[in-house]
Structure 1
Amino acid sequence: MTVMYQHGTLANLVPGGFEGTMTLEALLTHGDTGIGTLEGLDGELVILDGTVYQVTAKGAVLTPPATATVPFANVHPAAFAPGQPFAAGGMADAVRQFVTAIGSVNRFAAVKLTGRFQTVSARAVKAQVAPYPSLVATAADQAVFDRSAVSGTLIGYFAPALYGGMAVPGFHLHFLAADHTFGGHVLDFGAVSGTLAVQRFADVQLHLPDAPAFLARDLGGDDVLGQIAKAEGSQK
C-alpha cells in the first residue's frame, strides 16, 4: 500500500490559518493525485495525473504555477485498485457504497469516481486577505455552482472519525468536469453511473508547517470539529 501525504491540518484552518506553507512543486513530490486549497483559501484544488487544477470562486478552472503555495492538501501516488462499474441514486447512496468498497471505517482511503452525473453542486471559497477571518466566516461567503448532466471525476479521501481535526471526518470530495469548465468542493450530487476505483492506505504521513504563525497558534478550541462540519457543509 502507498502512503497518503497530508500537508497541514483542517484544525489550523478553523481560526484562519490560511497562509501558504508549501509550494505545489514540493507537494507534487509526494503524489500525483489529490485535493487541497491555495494560500488565502483561494479556490479548490483537484490534482489528477500530476496536474493541479484550481477552481476559483468565479467558477474558472485554472492551472496555478508550481510556486503557488498551499496551507492544506492531500496527495498520494495513484495506485488504485482496478475500477469497478458503479451506479448510485445520489450522494447519500454513493457514500454508503464508497464505505462498502473501502471495507472499513477505520482506515484512510482515496476514492475516484469517473462518470456521468445527473447533477453536481460544488463550491469554491473566495480568496481571503490577511489578517484572515475564521474558516466558518469564509465558508459563509462561498460561491456555489450547479451543473446538470455533467461528466467528470470525483476525487477525494475518507478519514476515520478518530482523526477529525487532522482531516475532515468521513469523506472530503472534490469534482472536476471532463471539459475542465466546472468543479469544486462537492456539496451534493444526483444520480451517477460510471467507474469507481478505491485506494486504501496503511500509512499516512502528516507534514506540519514550520511557519511562526502556525507554531504560535492555539488549535485546542473546544468546538473545532463542529466548526469544520459547519464550514465543509453537510454531506448527504
Structure 2
Amino acid sequence: MSKTNILYQHGTLALLVPGLLDGTITMKELLEHGDTGIGTGEGLNGELIILDGVPYQVDSNGNVNVVKDDFTLPFANSHFDEYRHLTDIDGLSPKEIEKKILSMTSSNTFFSTKIHGTFTNIKTRAVKKSEKPYATLSKTAEDQSIFLEESIEGTLLSYYSPQIFDGAAVGGFHHHFLADNHKFGGHVLGFGGASGEIKVQQFDTLEQHLPTKNTDYMNYDFSKCDILGDIHKAEG
C-alpha cells in the first residue's frame, strides 16, 4: 500500500551548489517512492516532471522525452498521487496563486499542488547537460535555454517546503510544468495568469535520502559554500 502522506526526496539542493551533479539514483529506484515528482538529471540534464508514473524530461532543446529506468538524477522529489480539490482560479498570477494556496493550507509543512488549466505568457527553462569536472550550480545554470508560450494548456506541478528547510529544498514553492501536448515544459520562471483547478496534497513526513555511496558527496566540505545565496540565484 502506498504511503500518500510521505514526500520522498533524494539528495538536497545544497549538494548541487558546489557542483556535485553525479546521478546517484536511477529513475527506476525513484519511481518506487512515487508516481508523481520533479527533479533534474545528471549534470543538470534537463528538467524532470513525473505525472501518472511517467517520467518526462524537458531537455535544453525544448524536447519532451520519456526517460528510461536507467536515467540517473542527483536531486528529485516524488510521492504517490492522492490530491484533493482545493479551489478554482481564473487568470491569477503566480504570486496571487501562492498567496491563495497558503491562505487555505499551512506554511509549516510540506505539500504539493497540481494545477491543470490554461497558462498565459509562461516562461520555462531547461539546463544543458554538463560533463565532469562539473562547474558550480550557478555557473552550470547559466547555460540554460528559455522557452515561452503565449497561451497553453498543461499541468503545473509544484512542491512547497517550509522556510526552515531552505537549502535541503527550495524554501517556498518549486514549480515545474508540462503541456498537455507534450511539446513544452520545464522549470517555471514565471507566467502571466493561470485559469483552472488547484489540487493539493499535504505531507506529514519527509523521507530524506542521501547519496552516501557517492565519495565526492561524502567528502565535501559545505562550510565554504554560500548555499542559500546560490540556490536562490539559480532557482529564481
TM-score with structure 1 setting the length: 0.95
1:151 to 127, 150, 153: 153
Structure 1: runs of 5+ lacking an equivalent: none
Residue in 2 aligned with 1:197? 199
Q: How far apart are residue 230 of structure 1 and its match? A: 0.3
Deviation at 1:83, TM superposition (A): 5.1
Aligned-residue identity in percent: 45
Q: Tell whether 2:168 aligns with 1:160.
A: no
How far is the alpha carbon of 1:213 from its aligned partner? 1.1
The correspondence for 1:171, drawn from 166, 170, 173, is: 173
**Cα shift at 1:222:** 5.2
State the alpha-carbon separation in 1 of the partners of residues 202 and 90 from structure 2.
21
CA contact under 8 A between 2:85 and 2:197: conserved in structure 1? no
The verdict on how the C-alpha distance between 1:83 and 1:161 changes in structure 2, with shifts beyond 3 A counting, is closer
The equivalent of 2:43 in structure 1 is: 40
- 1:87 deviation in Å? 2.4
Residue among 129, 137, 141 paired with 1:135: 137
Corresponding residue for 1:72?
A: 75
**What is the CA–CA distance in structure 2 between the aligned matches of 1:222 and 1:134, rounded to whole Å?**
10
Q: Which residue of 2 aligns with 1:121?
A: 123
Aligned equivalents of 2:173 and 2:31: distance in 1? 22
Deviation, structure 1 residue 221: 3.5
Q: Give the whole-Å Cα distance in 1 for the aligned partners of 2:185 and 2:160.
A: 19
Q: Which moved more, 1:181-190 or 1:137-146?
A: 137-146
C-alpha RMSD of the superposition = 1.1
* 2:112 counterpart residue number: 110
Equivalent in 2, 5, 12 of residue 2 of structure 1: 5
1:71-114 deviation digits (Å, cap 9, x = unpaired) = 0000000011135322243111111112223x211110001000
Alpha-carbon contact 1:108-1:157 (below 8 Å) kept = yes
Number of residue equivalences: 232
CA-CA distance at 1:48 after TM superposition: 0.2
Contact 2:161 2:169 in 1 (8 A): yes
